[in-house]
Structure 1
Amino acid sequence: MTLASLVIGVSFVASSLLTHFPVWGGQAIRFTAAALVLGALCGRRWRLVRTWPAGVWLRITGLAVTGMLGYNVAIITAERTAEPAVPGAIVGCAPLAVALLSPLMQARSPAARGLAAAGLVVLGTYIVQGFGRTDGSGLGWSAVALACEVTFTLLAAPVLRLTGPLLASACASGIAGLLAGATALAVEGTTWLRIPQAPEAAALAWQAVAATAIGFLFWCRGIDQVGAERSALFLGLIPLSAAATAPLVGTGHLSAAQLVGCLLVAGGVALGMSRTPGSCDPAPQEPPPS
């Protein structure tokens, strides 16, 4: 989860190199390339997809639409009229939203310790990110990104127990690539077929291999192992990674307040992860034999 958060956070810097590249075309290239990388790693696991019921494919499509396409397009669109801190701060509320919604979906009350941990992460994220200038469009698309992230986390936990993280990541990437390609042809025509410039190609390569093939796979593995509530706490590490990377490319600096925010996020993650499995997400049940 930590590694996934770090590479996804760096992808925010990579996205700044793609402001002049067609949005949907870039997503099509990114996710198609990631699907090819992940698909090569699946090997004989591909035989298992024949046993999946339609409901599993529907959930995987939901992962592609929310956690891949919806989230990334919403972030890119929000940053056209808002400073990057705005979507970062709003998406930073995801741990608290998951801590509230996940127990309710399982007909149980949210744990006080889980809410406290999520609250520390959200507070630390706001201190690190701040809240920049925006307009109604920026706020709206930032809220869409938050909804996509929360929906993805809640959808992923049950389906990963049946499919495994690797196959789910490969299939979701393939579906996202197909949907983005079709949308690019409909919305952007053939303009997205142009050859990317060197910085754009480097950014797309990073997003495809590091942020998607590695980051998405590790994120899914984390959700599968620790559950939705505790995995959502690691979302607070993403803006920390972005804030730490920005000075390296000359687009920002770390302040004392941001360091305090980092400590709050780390404390929230430690508090949430220190709980016993019984006090967080219930242990996954094995699927009945076929």
Structure 2
Amino acid sequence: MQKTSKLLSPTAWASLALVLATIMWGVAFPVSKAVLADMDPISMSLWRYGIAAPIFLALLAWREGAAALGLEGHGWKLLGLGTLGFAGFNLLMFYGVSMSRPEFGAIVMALQPLIAVMIQWARSGKRPAARSFGALALAVLGVVLLTTDGHLSRLTEHAAVLPTLMMIAGGTCWVLYSMGAAAFPHWSPLRYTALSGTGGALALGVFWLVVGAAGGLRLPAASALPALAPALLFLVLLAAVVAVLCWNQGIRQIGAQRGMLFINVVPLTALAVGVLRGHALGHWELVGAALVLLSLVLNQLGGRKAAMTKNLQPALAACK
């Protein structure tokens, strides 16, 4: 392991972790669509994170000891962040998609890096570099072309304000959750994931009880469970446990603002899944995919340049 780690820089490992997470989420979209035919979004989300949370906690106790399970006075903050990331994002995004089109969900996800930049700008008062806005513009344009194959008129089909606002709110929830990890600099990504994920699972449980009391749940029949089992296992073990751990590890290393741009790997992966199922790629889909990849390259190059400048500053100061 030590020898392998020298082959890649910490930033490269973080990028690899983010790509792995978003690939699994990209596969999870078509898998979730099949599951949602038999189960409502809140039940599916509770299934995922109600099982994932105990796994997170067990991993944390095994790796860092029982003392790491302590909240250190951050219980309410972790509950709030977990509610935003695991309940807010999943419920607002999936209910919004169910009332519109999957393309809108992909485009709204592409707005998450822009949301992160705007939040960071508002917090710090420091305007982001023009390069950052250029990479974001390329990413959004790429995802629009990718999801519509150049037929922009699709954006007006089944368009509605409420589901769009719900999906934007869901995307903002995930951005805030990802940025929230910075408030725990001395915690490992595993600890932040486990304790915030537990808060999110508790919130999902409360929402599930409330919606169930109102008669808004839709559960699969017992006869359908064997057929759904592989999809549900994937959504829990890979798309929840492994993906969220990889995501928080990557975000810890390179920061939420740069890391959020990797979310655009999700529609790329969904496109790749479609190709494997026999979908023939259109010209504009290829252009859109190329623009998304270009935005990621620009994002990485920009981050590397910024890091080099920061490292050179002490040497330059010493020469004066």
| Correspondence for 1:265 | 292
- Alignment pair present for 1:47 and 2:64: no
| Correspondence for 2:12 | none
Q: Aligned partners of 1:51, 1:40: CA distance in 2, in Å?
A: 15
- Alignment pair present for 1:97 and 2:124: no
Q: Aligned partners of 2:288, 2:231: CA distance in 1, in Å?
A: 28
Moved more, 61-70 or 130-139: 130-139
Q: Aligned partners of 2:82, 2:263: CA distance in 1, in Å?
A: 18
| Correspondence for 2:316 | none
Q: 1:160 deviation in Å? A: 4.5
| Correspondence for 2:8 | none
| Correspondence for 1:241 | 269
Once the two structures are superposed, residues 9-51 of structure 1 have per-residue CA deviations (whole angstroms, 9 ceiling, x without a partner) of 1111111112221332222221021123222322152413436
| Correspondence for 1:2 | 19
Counterpart of 1:146, as a letter, is: G
Q: 1:253 deviation in Å? A: 4.3
Gaps of 5+ in 2: 1-17, 149-154, 311-320
| Correspondence for 1:14 | 31
- Alignment pair present for 1:174 and 2:198: yes
Counterpart among 150, 164, 167 of residue 139 in structure 1: 164
Q: Aligned partners of 1:91, 1:161: CA distance in 2, in Å?
A: 26
Q: 1:206 deviation in Å? A: 1.3
Counterpart of 1:21, as a letter, is: M
Counterpart of 1:128, as a letter, is: L
TM-score by length of 2: 0.78
Question: Which structure has the greater CA radius of gyration?
Answer: 2
Q: Aligned partners of 1:140, 1:37: CA distance in 2, in Å?
A: 33
Counterpart of 1:212, as a letter, is: A
Q: Aligned partners of 2:98, 2:220: CA distance in 1, in Å?
A: 22
- Alignment pair present for 1:152 and 2:145: no
What is the root-mean-square deviation in Å for CA atoms of aligned residues?
A: 2.5
| Correspondence for 2:246 | 218
Q: Aligned partners of 1:278, 1:63: CA distance in 2, in Å?
A: 32
Once the two structures are superposed, residues 220-267 of structure 1 have per-residue CA deviations (whole angstroms, 9 ceiling, x without a partner) of 0111000111101101111111121134346x5432211111111111
TM-score by length of 1: 0.86
- Count of aligned positions: 278
Counterpart among 109, 126, 129 of residue 144 in structure 2: 126
| Correspondence for 2:88 | 70
Q: Aligned partners of 2:78, 2:305: CA distance in 1, in Å?
A: 27
Once the two structures are superposed, residues 125-181 of structure 1 have per-residue CA deviations (whole angstroms, 9 ceiling, x without a partner) of 11112335333332232222222233223323x134232111111122222222222
Does the CA-based 8 Å contact 2:93-2:171 persist in structure 1? no
Once the two structures are superposed, residues 68-105 of structure 1 have per-residue CA deviations (whole angstroms, 9 ceiling, x without a partner) of 11111112211222110012112211112212321431
